[in-house]
Chains A and B, each alone.
Chain A
Amino acid sequence: MLSVRSVRKSFGAVVALKDANLELMPGEIRALLGANGSGKSTLVKILSGLVSKDGGQILLDGRPLSIDSPLDSLRAGFATAYQDLSLVPRFTVAENIALGREPRGRAGLIERREVLETARGILERLKAEFSPDTFASVLDASQLGQVEIAKAFAWKARYLLLDEVTASLHHEQVRVLFKLLKEMAAAGAAILFVSHRLDEVFQLCDTATILRGGQTVASVKVSEVDHTDLAFHMTGKRLDRAQVKKTSTLSAVGAEAVLAVENLTVMPKVKGVTLHVNAGEVVGLGGLQGQGQSEFLQAVYGAAARSGGVVKLNGREVHFRSPAEALRHGLGFIPGDRDRDGVFPVRSVTENLYLAKLALRPLARIINPQELLQGARELIQRLGIVAGGPNHPARSLSGGNQQKLIVGRWLAVSPKVLILDDPTKGVDIGARLEIHEILRRMAQAGTSVLISSSEVEELLALADRIYVFYEGRIVEELSGDQRSEQNLISAMLGVNHAQSREG
């Protein structure tokens, strides 16, 4: 049995964990829930050895356990699948799965055949659609997620720590995974399942521990609670479901489509998508992750090449070959991975806020620092960004505030069309609602918004119309009263999609 008692951890001035408690028994599948900033990722990293704890105790079968490195954690019987993956891109899938636990044979040499066989076995159980000798660098996000899981499985550990592993997986992949996890639990493994998707928690888990503000606030049996109970523990507020619905009415400003896309194709992920966005509308792109939404949006914005199709802006055909071109035509883009694609950690808050605006100006133009500073202060206030000062480096801000920096960057250029690619993934409820409000205000001021999201609630709360992606195509358009959870989810799952899968 694993026992976590009063664990504390701070990163400099930021307190990640104040008083974390957890118990995990063999055969149990326990969810670890919490909003962003609640400390759940930190707790997992402490157990897996990537992060050291400042205080508290970890006990394994009654005896204190000291975890000073991932090696200690692995030796103690923990195996972790990380949200941000622990793979080496230039290694093959089999090499990645074997990394750190290479089977030794004669004279200590690595048993290459066993490496392949072990990998093949696990991949088959996961119903993976790639062979073990594929290089990780050519796999997509959902396949990489499967490799990460396979890697954790390969350790045959007593305790399995899964940190947001379903974030990139298809519904079918999730189904297979859950079946396997239940088998493992029945055979005696203990599983800690970190997720923000409450539906999955109800499907899979026996128990749940909820963290809030770095503390364990509740430990419950999943069968005894419902969504609102969990949401209450996570946020401290009773979420009224009725409130979550969109309050502003459908703005019928202008029947002219600002952005019209016909038959856009991006091989192999996007197979002929046609949609349009009217002025001042918020159009949502729904669907499971990895159905082509990202590739579609990037192609429209010019960040990726397209194989075919037509894009029209205000009736005129356009073909952006780079984001710079799209920006000049009044488009904006907020990426889903802010660390990799959005924030400039070493540069100041001001520069982060102003970069898109600066990108519009000619290179030789001189800057007036006062003007920038003034503008930055205004934006900081408008967006409610918590920062030490406009000259502080962006990395000194918390995750949610960094995301606001990126939103602010585009607010500053008032784009005609703002494209967002799953922007609130991993952002906590508080910041998420604030960003929604900002988007609504932008739409009311005339910006057309095209936002892709895998969260049903987000789409229902924000969008005037929702297009649903399934396997690279639009399978449904929902507007008006059609925008219901039922319709959206069934479209996402391709229930109404009569065509069989193409080879």
Chain B
Amino acid sequence: MADRDSSSAFRGFLRRFQDNQVLMALLMAAVLYLVGGIFTVQFFSLGNIGSLISLTVILGFAGAGQTLVVSSGGGIDLSVGAVMSLGAIIAAQTMRDADAGTLLSIALIVGMGFAAGLFNAVGVILTRVPALVMTMATANVVAAVQWIYSGGFPTGHPGPLVKFIGTARILPFLPYLAFVGVAMVLLIEFGLNRTVYGKQMFAVGNNLQAAYLSGVRAKLVQGAAFVLAGVLNALAGFWFAAFNVYTAVGSCNIYVMPSIAALVIGGTSMNGGKGSYVGTMVGALVLTLLGSLLVLMQTDEAGRQIAYGLVLIAVLAAYNREPKIRL
């Protein structure tokens, strides 16, 4: 009798994982962490935990805007890398190693992100061009702006306070950045689930025509998602500069594809209508762990790319299969 109870309880436990992709992603993260530790005990070191957290937070920030855009059914935002890079450059060049320029810097970054997001919004909503293509075009424009603004060589660094928050740790395993990350997660999750806008956004992502007929201003909602994403992407650049200190043109372009991957692993539906930022953050954690693990195993660039692609396919095969056409 006891055996049957425990086995069905176990099966129930398993099913919880199958249905809840975020839990599954957490499990993957745990497995990756353990494997890392097997390779070298250094992986478990407190210092390393701190590094992993910082890297995860930055990638998670890159995925914030993406989560909004994808969930609202607007498509995929490929301008995240360019906008983030420009945000980082603005941070470096306006603060110039002094705290005095911090507020101005943030204001400029938010303004730039707003403009970029608006550019995307107008381009995607007003034309029938898919977001994938339009945001790529925006990325090119923003990249050109990066070059013009920095003259090819960005100068300056974020002020000491910002640098401190970005790089220092309150405990060896707990960077200040973690708090920023948690605050961001709470803020965005609140926005997604507890505001009228969030509910409308998911509705638009799930069935735009139905939302429109129910009195939702669908275009406004989708456009707002792009604008908000622009701001979030730009701010992600600010934190990138805080963490990385060194900025260069296009330095954040490497975050574009992983931002999408983080969403996928975290369970956000690529068709829109369903998603969570917690999931994206966990997805970022998985990707960061995977990346670190691969570096640890001293795989070269080729091996890293192949492993990354294989892991992605595995996750996709588990969670992102489309239903059979014949029922």
Asked whether the complex places CB atoms of A and B closer than 8 A, the reply is yes
Query: Which stretch from B94-102, B192-200, B231-239 is at the chain A interface?
Result: B192-200
> With A342-B210, A358-B199, A363-B200 as given contacts, are A11 and B216 in contact (CB-CB < 8 Å)?
no
Query: Which stretch from B2-10, B175-183, B201-209 is at the chain A interface?
Result: B201-209
In the complex, which residues of chain A have a beta carbon less than 8 angstroms from the beta carbon of B224? 363
- Assess whether B216 is in contact with A344, with CB atoms less than 8 Å apart: no
**Does A335 interact with chain B (Cβ within 8 Å)?**
yes
Q: How far is the CA of A326 from the CA of B273 in the complex (A)?
A: 25
B214 interface neighbour in A50, A51, A356, A367, Cβ under 8 Å:
A356
- Assess whether A341 is in contact with B210, with CB atoms less than 8 Å apart: yes
Chain B contact-residue range equals: 20 to 34
In the complex, which residues of chain B have a beta carbon less than 8 angstroms from the beta carbon of A365? 195-196
The majority secondary structure among interface residues of chain B is: helix
- Assess whether A366 is in contact with B194, with CB atoms less than 8 Å apart: yes
In the complex, which residues of chain A have a beta carbon less than 8 angstroms from the beta carbon of B16? none
In the complex, which residues of chain A have a beta carbon less than 8 angstroms from the beta carbon of B213? 303, 323, 333, 335, 341-342
> With A52-B326, A52-B327, A324-B216 as given contacts, are A362 and B196 in contact (CB-CB < 8 Å)?
yes
**Does A351 interact with chain B (Cβ within 8 Å)?**
yes
In the complex, which residues of chain A have a beta carbon less than 8 angstroms from the beta carbon of B197? 363-364
Q: How far is the CA of A69 from the CA of B325 in the complex (A)?
A: 10
- Assess whether B206 is in contact with A367, with CB atoms less than 8 Å apart: no
- Assess whether A344 is in contact with B326, with CB atoms less than 8 Å apart: no
**Does A239 interact with chain B (Cβ within 8 Å)?**
no
**Does B11 interact with chain A (Cβ within 8 Å)?**
no
> With A343-B207, A344-B210 as given contacts, are A358 and B273 in contact (CB-CB < 8 Å)?
no
- Assess whether B202 is in contact with A351, with CB atoms less than 8 Å apart: yes
**Does A59 interact with chain B (Cβ within 8 Å)?**
no
- Assess whether A344 is in contact with B203, with CB atoms less than 8 Å apart: yes
- Assess whether B203 is in contact with A355, with CB atoms less than 8 Å apart: yes
> With A344-B273, A364-B196, A366-B195 as given contacts, are A356 and B215 in contact (CB-CB < 8 Å)?
yes
**Does A127 interact with chain B (Cβ within 8 Å)?**
no
Q: Which of A328, A333, A355 has the most CB of B within 10 A?
A: A355
In the complex, which residues of chain A have a beta carbon less than 8 angstroms from the beta carbon of B274? 346-347
8 Å CB interface, B256-274 against A: 269, 273-274
**Does A494 interact with chain B (Cβ within 8 Å)?**
no
A367 interface neighbour in B194, B202, B203, B207, Cβ under 8 Å:
B194
> With A341-B209, A347-B273, A367-B195 as given contacts, are A50 and B327 in contact (CB-CB < 8 Å)?
yes
Q: How far is the CA of A364 from the CA of B221 in the complex (A)?
A: 12
8 Å CB interface, B296-327 against A: 326-327
- Assess whether B215 is in contact with A323, with CB atoms less than 8 Å apart: yes
**Does B26 interact with chain A (Cβ within 8 Å)?**
no
- Assess whether A303 is in contact with B207, with CB atoms less than 8 Å apart: no
Q: Which of A11, A333, A347 has the most CB of B within 10 A?
A: A347
> With A52-B326, A341-B210, A347-B202 as given contacts, are A322 and B196 in contact (CB-CB < 8 Å)?
no
- Assess whether A322 is in contact with B327, with CB atoms less than 8 Å apart: no
- Assess whether B217 is in contact with A322, with CB atoms less than 8 Å apart: yes
Q: How far is the CA of A322 from the CA of B214 in the complex (A)?
A: 10
In the complex, which residues of chain A have a beta carbon less than 8 angstroms from the beta carbon of B327? 11, 45, 50-52
In the complex, which residues of chain A have a beta carbon less than 8 angstroms from the beta carbon of B273? 344, 346-347
**Does A327 interact with chain B (Cβ within 8 Å)?**
yes
- Assess whether B215 is in contact with A345, with CB atoms less than 8 Å apart: no
Q: Which of A50, A324, A328, A333 has the most CB of B within 10 A?
A: A324
Q: Which 10 A-B pairs have the closest CB atoms?
A: A327-B215, A359-B215, A363-B197, A344-B206, A359-B216, A361-B196, A365-B196, A346-B273, A324-B217, A355-B214
**Could you name 18 residue pairs across A and B whose Cβ atoms are closer than 8 Å?**
A50-B326, A322-B217, A323-B213, A324-B216, A333-B213, A335-B213, A344-B211, A345-B207, A346-B206, A355-B214, A358-B200, A359-B216, A359-B217, A363-B200, A363-B221, A364-B195, A367-B196, A367-B199
Binding site for B on A (CB under 8 A): 11, 45, 49-52, 69, 303, 322-324, 326-328, 333, 335, 340-347, 351, 354-356, 358-367, 369, 409
